[in-house]
Structure 1
Amino acid sequence: MNKLEQLKQRSLVVADTGDIEAIRRYQPQDATTNPSLLYKAAQLPQYEQHVKDALSWAEKNGGDVINQASMKLAVAIGCEILQLVPGVVSTEVDARLSFDTRASIEYARKLIAMYQQAGIDRERVLIKLASTWEGIAAAAVLEQEGIHCNLTLLFSQCQAVACAEAGVTLISPFVGRILDWYKASTGRDDYTAQDDPGVVSVTSIYEYYKSRGYPTIVMGASFRNTGEIEALAGCDKLTISPQLLQELQDDEGELAAGLNSDIVSLPAPNTQLQEPEFRYQLNADAMATEKLAEGIRNFVADQMKLEELLQKAR
């Protein structure tokens, strides 16, 4: 077996792309999208009709046409993806709402309603939210309503702890972006898969969850190389770009050992992480603070590019 086939025996593989052809080629369990991926997808010829249909629907629906069209496009691409994957698709709440709990909840409810109108059961959709305090608070409400959430832009233990305590379905702790920060801040460029700061972070979160019995799924994300992926083999899920999926598929070697599945059980904390302590711990982690803010800014920028594209297509 090639390494991708071996990996699929140990972790559920998720395609980190909105490219239908890539999903068809690598046959992942799930797929995840974000504004950056949707912006790229919307520029491809095969999505031209989706763009037209989204705009036509939004113009008939009333309200903010471009905002409505961007939501409809995200759902349309999500529906197409769900024809190819047996599992779930993740669709993101507008990153401009990352610090507005109420607005994030309303946006998520609209996305789920659109999916249901398209004949997709809510169990097949994960709503993506940034792992701000407000995003996690929104997820806690949505999970109580049976709307499952994927908390993204997660870089620290305090974010992971808050998500588990909020009953979040899945988290996407980032690997490569953590490595990027450490390379830039230390000047070191010789990290191995074993001492890669992103791998170390996700391993710590995974072991924390499993040792305390939290059901929240850990999905490693944002990989820079296949060594990081192999080091996290055995993680609940791994979301991987088409380029790295291809590298794994082309490699006939033996997959590295990956995560240790023999984890000692420990009691869960007696008290939950409160907002002041969450904010203090996040602020104390320069990497997590900077990468969270940067990630939100980048998603907002790509959302605005998508909206400009839709505006030109009207």
Structure 2
Amino acid sequence: MPSKLDQLKTMTTIVADTGDMEAIRAFEPVDSTTNPTLILKAAQMPAYKPLVEEAILWGISHNHPASAITDRLAVNFGEELTKIVPGRVSTEVDADLSFDVDGTVAKARAIIADYERRGIARGRILIKIAATWEGIRAAEILQREGIDCNMTLIFSLVQAVACAEAKAFLISPFVGRILDWYSKKEGKTYTSETDPGVLSVRAIYAYYKAYGIDTIIMGASFRNIGEIEALAGCDRLTISPTLLEELSKDQGVLERKLDPRTAAARAPAAFSLDEKTFRYLLNEDAMATEKLSEGIRSFSQDLQALRALVSKRLAEAA
């Protein structure tokens, strides 16, 4: 009997949710995604010291600030990841640009330009952007330029629909963080079938398949393999090394839960969004509003911590 990981690979594209390249080599995912939290963690691991040192020396030789060096560091990791995975690598725009359309577009263009200078085609990269109204508008511009976007911090169908209308390449709905909110708010224990995060992704999946939306759905932020099993068949799932290992050791039968041929029957009614409607409906969803804001703050804090680490290394090298 093949492992549940091997079974999952037959129905869903597996993406590694890590900056640890050895873990990626071990589980052979198709794609890889990173964020400031993962880069911060990986940057402090001895194995990746050369990537950090290169960025530091580049910054010193060009007299660049810590912010530019952290951008280069993210691309350094991304470049190495493109040598390991055959598919896409996601690189995130600074979280402090989450409400800045022009700033997000400029940063995304700069990231793509850096990859292209290294001989890495834009078709190998996804620019990761928080799914605020401004982030979605930035993605709309970038998609028209052939720069594919991964819309992150998705907690609601409202965000998912807005991203689809902007022709975003991919969305990352966060399963575990939704569960966290409801568990704390309601004090309940959920099964994989009643998990609010799982149900949210299933609703998005049904909507997209019912209305012929091409935007890819990549479930993210899992707390346990039960959530992953409950979304077997989703377009893509981005999974941490710990949970990938757990799936690789489980020899049980994995049932497909999501199928485009049957999902449409459960789809919510279609709707469209302008800015006013988007902001109102998102505001009406307390969980999505709180988790989106919290996610941006958390990524921003880790980005600042990464810049502080770089500043410290610059001071030591002076």
Please give the TM-score of this superposition, normalised by the length of structure 2: 0.95
**CA–CA distance in 2 between the matches of 1:267 and 1:183?**
25
**CA–CA distance in 2 between the matches of 1:259 and 1:198?**
14
- The answer (yes or no) to whether the contact 1:212–1:267 under 8 Å persists in 2 is no
Q: Which residue of 2 aligns with 1:182?
A: 182
Which amino acid letter does the alignment assign opposite residue 203 of structure 2?
A: S
Map 1:82-231 onto structure 2 (within 5 A).
82-188=82-188, 190-231=189-230
| CA deviation map 1:99-139 (0-9, x unaligned) | 00000000000000010111100000000000000000000
| CA deviation map 1:224-278 (0-9, x unaligned) | 0001000101000000000000000000111133213323488995x74100000
Pairwise CA distance, 1:192 = 0.6
Q: Is the partner of 1:248 in helix, strand or coil?
A: helix
Q: Which residue of 2 aligns with 1:254?
A: 253
- The answer (yes or no) to whether the contact 2:203–2:268 under 8 Å persists in 1 is no
Q: Which residue of 1 aligns with 2:240?
A: 241
Which amino acid letter does the alignment assign opposite residue 50 of structure 1?
A: L
Map 1:6-45 onto structure 2 (within 5 A).
6-45=7-46
Of 155-164 and 251-260, more deviation after overlay is shown by 251-260
- The answer (yes or no) to whether the contact 2:21–2:81 under 8 Å persists in 1 is yes
Pairwise CA distance, 1:92 = 0.2
- The answer (yes or no) to whether the contact 1:212–1:268 under 8 Å persists in 2 is no
Pairwise CA distance, 1:62 = 4.0
**CA–CA distance in 2 between the matches of 1:162 and 1:257?**
28
Which amino acid letter does the alignment assign opposite residue 61 of structure 1?
A: H
- The answer (yes or no) to whether the contact 2:229–2:255 under 8 Å persists in 1 is yes
Q: Is the partner of 1:219 in helix, strand or coil?
A: strand
- The answer (yes or no) to whether the contact 2:11–2:256 under 8 Å persists in 1 is no
Which amino acid letter does the alignment assign opposite residue 313 of structure 1?
A: R
Which amino acid letter does the alignment assign opposite residue 223 of structure 1?
A: F
Measured at CA, do residues 292 and 82 of structure 1 come closer, stay the same or move farther in structure 2, by a change above 3 Å?
same
**CA–CA distance in 2 between the matches of 1:268 and 1:253?**
36
Pairwise CA distance, 1:47 = 1.3
Which amino acid letter does the alignment assign opposite residue 41 of structure 1?
A: A
Pairwise CA distance, 1:21 = 0.4
Identical positions, percent = 56
**CA–CA distance in 2 between the matches of 1:147 and 1:212?**
24
Pairwise CA distance, 1:309 = 0.8
Measured at CA, do residues 166 and 250 of structure 1 come closer, stay the same or move farther in structure 2, by a change above 3 Å?
same
Unaligned residue ranges in structure 1 (runs of 5+): none
**CA–CA distance in 1 between the matches of 2:60 and 2:10?**
46
Pairwise CA distance, 1:57 = 1.5
Q: Is the partner of 2:180 in helix, strand or coil?
A: helix
Which amino acid letter does the alignment assign opposite residue 200 of structure 1?
A: L
**CA–CA distance in 1 between the matches of 2:278 and 2:238?**
26
Pairwise CA distance, 1:61 = 3.3
- The answer (yes or no) to whether the contact 1:218–1:235 under 8 Å persists in 2 is yes
Pairwise CA distance, 1:60 = 3.1
Of 49-58 and 162-171, more deviation after overlay is shown by 49-58
